[in-house]
Amino acid sequence: MAKRLHRSLNQKMFGGVCGGLAEYFDVDVSLVRLIFVAIALVSVLVPMTVFYLVAWVVIPSPSSPSGGSGPSA
């Protein structure tokens, strides 16, 4: 019989998804969970880092050291 992917009933924290993937690929469930967390962090951090770098280039710096706009009285 062919292997089928299913949620795990034994290796579950929330829904058993990582446990099911670990059982299907015959790897340690902790490794699957670590990979899942790493991908989740990278998918959030990389776009925000790119956005910050683009904003750093696009947004102009103030023309005066005080940061105000226009002449001061």
Segment 44-60 shows an average pLDDT of 89
CA pair distance 60, 39, nearest whole angstrom: 33
Stronger pLDDT, 73 or 25, i.e. the higher one? 25
Q: What is the pTM of this model?
A: 0.65
In this prediction, residue 71 carries a pLDDT of 58
Question: What's the pLDDT tens digit per position in 6-44?
Answer: 888 888 788 888 899 998 999 999 999 999 999 999 898
What separation in angstroms does the CA of 54 have from each of 17, 42, 43, 59? Answer: 36, 18, 17, 8
Q: What is the mean pLDDT of residues 38-65?
A: 87
CA 12 vs CA 16, 32, 34, 56: distances in Å: 4, 12, 14, 43
Place of tokens 């102009």: 60
Whether the per-residue pLDDT at 64 is higher than 80: the answer is: no
